[in-house]
Amino acid sequence: MRHLALIVATLALSGPAVAAALDPAALRTAGDWRLSEVGGKVACTLTLTREASFSGYALKAPLACRRAFPALKGVAAWALDEKGGIVLTDAHALPIVTFPAAQAGAPYEAKSPDGRTWRLDPLKADGTPAGPDTPPAEKPVPAG
């Protein structure tokens, strides 16, 4: 009986992560993105990974990025909403910022929790902004 309870608990906790791992739109969105403040001078690179997380996918942001954009300190994951927007969430799966789906070729833009406007652009493998309809660059996965 104890093993059955453990199995049920494990399946309940992994449900959203398993569903997220199968989302082709999210898999196309994964990669490196340039986060900047509209009209600002600071920018950094966020990595939207394909690694399943409790509320979508894991997000990697360097410490310098989290310092430059304080609202990112609590970001733990990312996911796509039902309209194709990119949602950055905290460790409790609560949204911190949502970038509504952008027009083809346009960057994602959203109001941050502190009222500033953030822009999110996909990056090519060389670190430069990607053009219209170009998916973000993916980091190579180590073999083995």
Cα–chain center distance at 141: 18
Domain 2-122 indexed as CATH 2.40.128.10: yes
Rounded to two decimals, the pTM is: 0.73
pLDDT at res. 30:
92
pLDDT at res. 141:
45
pLDDT confidence band for 136 (50 / 70 / 90): low
pLDDT at res. 138:
52
Question: 33-88, pLDDT tens digit by residue?
Answer: 999 999 999 999 999 999 998 889 999 999 999 999 999 999 999 999 999 999 99
* Distance from C-alpha of 30 to C-alpha of 27, rounded to nearest angstrom: 5
Phi, psi of 83 (to 5 degrees): -100, 5
